[in-house]
């Protein structure tokens, strides 16, 4: 009995997970996606702009900063997001010649403003929206390791605590060794308005997504711009963007329950009605044959008795 209950619970949980994963369907957002060769014949991109020290290698990547000191670069969408629920998958690479000292890091933004330089990984402070930071250089001691991936949610009134690496401002965070790895590194950010903001990482194996954090009951600005920025100081790294793939998430109509009236119709008409009629006909016919046979036997038996009583 206990084994049956455990099996039943597993089936219920599996069913719940399937429903959750299939709750939304993806529709590509071309306005917030970018791939090689990144630019057109006029060396521009219709949906994104880049600036600062960023430059485009049409065969490989958009390099936000080179592996040099004191560089700042950015890549921003020209249009704001107009969908309430979305998923953004970004392939990036952080590499450099530094063995023990490197930095400073890069940031992914969903904010109300765009293309403004500042001290927060190359972008403005006191932003409105959310920033997801990949911090590769620790400015002070912490109980966790670096690189550190953290999110800061801001209403425009808070200043990022650079000296403490935003430790007291984390809305969600994790540590991951995603610098100078031998495979494609990706970050996937999923936002469901008013419900959750989830960050997952691919850095161990291809198509193996490691959960980083999830922020519950979060509402971001309704029309944020998508941006990426990076900065180097005395320590440095190359920060590259290989591709951005964005999707709008729309609610699926997942109800598969059948209308009870349909079931009744199926039971009373169509092929069901024909099969019941045929069965009834066969029963009546069989009963008639049995009745007729019984009566014939009685008549035959009576006649037999009559002839057997005669004497010659």
Measure the CA angle with vertex 101, ends 202 and 58; round to 5°.
Answer: 50
Placement of tokens 């954090």 in the chain: 213
Query: Would you call the peptide bond into 213 cis, given omega within 30 degrees of 0 as the criterion?
Result: no
141 pLDDT tier (thresholds 50, 70, 90): very high
- For the record, the structure tokens of 68 come out as 């040099």
**What does the DSSP 8-state code read for residue 34?**
B
pLDDT tier at 310, thresholds 50, 70, 90: very low
* pLDDT tens digit sequence for 25-49: 999 999 999 999 999 988 899 999 9
Distance CA 158, CA 248 (A): 29
| pLDDT in the model for residue 312 | 32
Q: Which two tokens stand for residue 299?
A: 């008549």
d(CA 20, CA 150): 25
Closest of 162, 226, 187, 200 to residue 94, by C-alpha = 187
Greater pLDDT, 43 or 57: 57
Per DSSP, helices labelled H in 167-229 are none
Tens of pLDDT, residues 232-255: 999 999 999 999 999 999 987 654
Q: How does pLDDT run across 200-232, given as a tens digit for each residue?
A: 999 999 999 999 999 999 999 999 999 999 999
pLDDT of 295: 66
Closest CA relative to residue 34, chosen from 42, 24, 44, 25:
44
- Taking 70 as the threshold, does the pLDDT of residue 190 lie above it? yes
CB 229 within 8 A of CB 115: no
Q: What is the pLDDT of residues 161-171, one digit of tens each?
A: 999 999 999 99
Average of per-residue pLDDT across 45-65:
96
Q: Which residue has the tokens 């060794």?
A: 177
């Amino acid at each position: 009995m206990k084994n049956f209950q455990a099996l039943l619970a597993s089936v219920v949980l599996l069913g719940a997970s399937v429903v959750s994963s299939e709750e939304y369907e993806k529709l590509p957002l071309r306005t917030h996606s970018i791939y090689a060769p990144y630019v057109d014949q006029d060396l521009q991109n219709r949906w994104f702009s880049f600036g600062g020290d960023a430059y485009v290698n049409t065969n490989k990547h958009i390099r936000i900063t080179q592996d040099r000191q004191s560089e700042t670069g950015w890549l921003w969408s020209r249009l704001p997001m107009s969908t309430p629920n979305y998923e953004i998958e970004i392939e990036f690479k952080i590499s450099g010649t530094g063995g023990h000292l490197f930095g400073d890091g890069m940031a992914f933004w969903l904010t109300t403003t765009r293309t403004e330089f500042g001290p927060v990984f190359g972008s403005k402070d006191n932003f409105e929206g959310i920033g997801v930071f990949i911090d590769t250089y620790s400015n002070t001691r912490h109980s966790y390791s670096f690189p550190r991936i953290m999110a800061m949610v801001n209403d425009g009134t808070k200043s990022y605590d650079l000296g403490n690496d935003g430790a007291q401002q984390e809305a969600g965070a994790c540590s991951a060794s995603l610098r100078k790895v031998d495979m494609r590194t990706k970050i996937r950010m999923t936002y469901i308005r008013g419900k959750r903001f989830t960050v997952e990482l691919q850095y161990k194996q291809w198509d193996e997504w490691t959960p980083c954090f999830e922020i519950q009951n979060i509402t971001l600005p309704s029309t944020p711009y998508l941006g990426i920025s990076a900065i180097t100081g005395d320590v440095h790294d190359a920060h590259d963007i290989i591709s951005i793939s964005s999707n709008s998430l729309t609610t699926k109509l997942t109800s598969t329950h059948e209308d009870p009236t349909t079931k009744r119709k199926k039971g009373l008409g169509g092929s069901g009605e024909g099969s019941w009629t045929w069965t009834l006909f066969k029963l009546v016919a069989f009963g008639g044959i049995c009745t007729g046979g019984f009566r014939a036997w009685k008549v035959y038996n009576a006649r037999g008795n009559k002839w057997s009583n005669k004497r010659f």
